[in-house]
Every structure is written in structure tokens, then in C-alpha cells.
Structure 1
């Protein structure tokens, strides 16, 4: 498999799957959120709601005081890309600290890859933070749809 990443590409061995995770950390002292981008694959015959249920069950077993907010519909990129998904808030205790996330999941056009964008803060999200999350989600351009994305 020819595998591309920002700095270049490699010829990856057969029978590996791309489980890339990108972490965009805020500049120290800014108080801004961390953005983690990862992807996963649906299991055979798994639907996106089943995937979400499985992921949340796994997370809730790994952390203390897990809570999830309302599941809301979300759009990734411009409406013409037709990449719908969902987003929700999550909080839990990890290493004695409460962590707050807005998690968003989107099934990509290949119908088996789930793109996960997780926004994290050490404090609860404000309306301004939610606007920033929505702006990041709206800015998504599917690779190949725009020459600048290549």
C-alpha cells in the first residue's frame, strides 16, 4: 500500500490498516483546545450507530465518572460533500483530572472509514468553544476535491 502523509510517503507492508492519529496541540498559555483527528474502520456488517455504541462502551470502561451529552447531527465540510455524522460532549476523570471533549464522528464516502475529530479542554466547553468546533468541522475539504488539499 502506498501510504501518504504530510511529509512524504512510504510503501507500507501488506495487510496493515491506516490508524493514523493527528494531534494538534494548542500553543502553551493560550487556553485553546486540543484537536485530535483519527480514523477507524467499521467492523463487518456494523452500522455507524453500532460503531458509536461500541466506542462509547469501550471508553466508559476505561475511565471514571464518564458522562455523555446529547447526540446531535453534524456536518463535515460544505453541504455538497454530503458527509453527515454526529457530535456530542463527553467528560470523564483521568489521572485525577476531569477532561472535557466534543467528539464528532463521520462516515466517509468509502462507506467503511469513520473519521473522528475530538476537541479537548480542561474546562467545560463554552458557546464560543462550540462555535470554534463548528468552524473547524465546516472547514473540512475531502482530499481530491480541492487542489490545495493534495
Structure 2
């Protein structure tokens, strides 16, 4: 795959794993009063931001002496959902303090999911100066994947994109993109669909409506049925273009999906349709 660094690009062999880490310190040698590290970590399957943060807290608690979580808040990084963890632990007799911000990255072409972590560490409690420095860095972050592709780039993928089906969860503020109808129906829980937890759209953003061919059964423990998606022009419903603001997280349902961000979906929907 093509790999980009600050000063060069090169072809990265497929068997090599990307363990890139950027570290910024105040001094060339010895401990730094304040430092920032940006790194990436593998997520598990369809990990959500919340699940990833929960697992990270548990891992830190098991690995760091005298670990204590001081605060956990939801925030954004370049308008993308993020979680900030503030905690401290004991190292060599000193209480170290860290603020760590986590945001999820789009699924790769190979189907992998990664989280980006930006962590600021102080040898003692954060001062106003270091809080301000870290907040300023976070406010300046621009995520490269959010840059919308040129219309020509989207058009070149038109054959693959034409069959795309979108599933929007307003409650989760999540937009899933699936390669086709079959994949969307297989991977979206029929029990949630029955309770209108998901809204479906075709590649043009036109609403699709579920039609259950096998009903959900049971009362206490419900067994999922199956359904198909249909166009029903007689039923008025908002288009994906009108509802896209309800999504803040994008998830590609399979490696076959040629989209990687909400910005790319917006660019696709903004293309003029052929008459």
C-alpha cells in the first residue's frame, strides 16, 4: 500500500504492520515535564468508540501501578466523536498524570479498524500552561480522511458505489455503508429494524423500507427474522441528504465499500444526477 510520512512516500509491504508513533518532548534527554505522543491501536471487529475506551481503561488499570481514572468526557476531534480520559498512576515514586484523547478512524480497505490516540503526559499535575498547550493542539487537529474526494474520484468508483446501501442509526449517530441490499439485511439486526431503530437508503439517498419475509418470533427471548428492502415511492420519508447531519460516525460494512467517511458520502450525494 502507498505509505505517507512527513518527508517521503513509499510502498509498504503488506506483511508489515504500521506501528507509527509521534513523540514530542521539551528536552532531548531525560524525563520531560510535558510531552505529547500520537499513536494508533487496533480495534476489535466492529468496536465502537465507547467499547474501545472501556477496554483501554481496564488495560491501564491492570498495567499501571496505583492507577486512578480522574475524569472521562465525550468531546470531538475535528468535529469527529472522541473520548478524553484523564488519569494518574505511580512511576518511580512519582504520580504521573495523563490526558488521553481517542477517536476512531475509518475502516481500511483490508477491513481493519484502528483508533487514533493523542496523549499528553505531565510529571506532576497539569498546570494551566500545559492544559492550554494540549487544548490548543487538539483544536488544531485536522483529520486527513475527512477531506472530501474530488467529484472525478467519486465518479471513477461509480460502478462499485451504485449498489451501496446506507443504514442510519439516529440514536447512535452512526451511518453504515454496505456493498449491497443482501449485506445490509444480513448485518443489521432484524429485531432493531422492526422497532424503527434503523433508516435505510439506496446509493442515491432515496429511502428504502423493510419488508419482513420471516417475522421476528418469541416474546422474552426474541428470535430474529429476515427482511428485504424495497423502494416505496408512495411513502413520504426524508432522504439521506436531509438526514445526513444526524450521523457523526461512519462505518464501512465490508472492504468492498469504496467510501471511508461522511464527507465522501456527502460528496457523492451532491453529484448531479443524470437526466
Q: The residue matched to 1:123 in structure 2 has which SS? A: coil
1:93-108 matches, within 5 Å, as: 93-108=90-105
Is 1:47 the counterpart of 2:48? The answer is yes
Q: The residue matched to 1:46 in structure 2 has which SS? A: coil
The runs of at least 4 consecutive aligned structure 1 residues that moved more than 6 Å come to none
What are the ranges of 5 or more consecutive residues in structure 1 without an aligned counterpart?
A: 146-150
* CA distance in 1: counterparts of 2:33 and 2:144, whole angstroms: 27
Residues 109, 14 of structure 1: alpha-carbon distance in 2 compared, 3 angstrom cutoff: closer
Give the match for residue 21 of structure 1.
21
Q: The residue matched to 1:130 in structure 2 has which SS? A: helix
Q: Is the 8 A contact 1:65 1:93 kept in 2?
A: yes
The two structures have a TM-score, normalised by structure 2, of 0.46
What are the ranges of 5 or more consecutive residues in structure 2 without an aligned counterpart?
A: 148-275
Q: Aligned Cα RMSD in Å?
A: 2.3
Residues 124, 22 of structure 1: alpha-carbon distance in 2 compared, 3 angstrom cutoff: same
1:24-35 matches, within 5 Å, as: 24-27=24-27, 33-35=34-36
Q: How much has 1:51 moved relative to structure 2?
A: 1.1
* CA distance in 1: counterparts of 2:18 and 2:49, whole angstroms: 19
Q: Is the 8 A contact 2:66 2:90 kept in 1?
A: yes
Q: How much has 1:109 moved relative to structure 2?
A: 4.3
Q: How much has 1:113 moved relative to structure 2?
A: 2.6
Which is greater in Rg?
Answer: 2
Q: The residue matched to 2:143 in structure 1 has which SS? A: coil
Give the match for residue 148 of structure 1.
none
Q: Is the 8 A contact 2:49 2:83 kept in 1?
A: no
The two structures have a TM-score, normalised by structure 1, of 0.80
Q: How much has 1:32 moved relative to structure 2?
A: 5.2
Return the structure number with greater relative CO, CA threshold 8 A, min gap 6. 1
Give the match for residue 7 of structure 2.
7
Residues 76, 32 of structure 1: alpha-carbon distance in 2 compared, 3 angstrom cutoff: farther
Structure richer in strand, relative to its length? 1
Q: The residue matched to 1:54 in structure 2 has which SS? A: helix
* CA distance in 2: counterparts of 1:50 and 1:72, whole angstroms: 14
Residues 110, 134 of structure 1: alpha-carbon distance in 2 compared, 3 angstrom cutoff: farther
* CA distance in 2: counterparts of 1:9 and 1:98, whole angstroms: 40
* CA distance in 1: counterparts of 2:83 and 2:127, whole angstroms: 19
1:86-97 matches, within 5 Å, as: 86-97=83-94
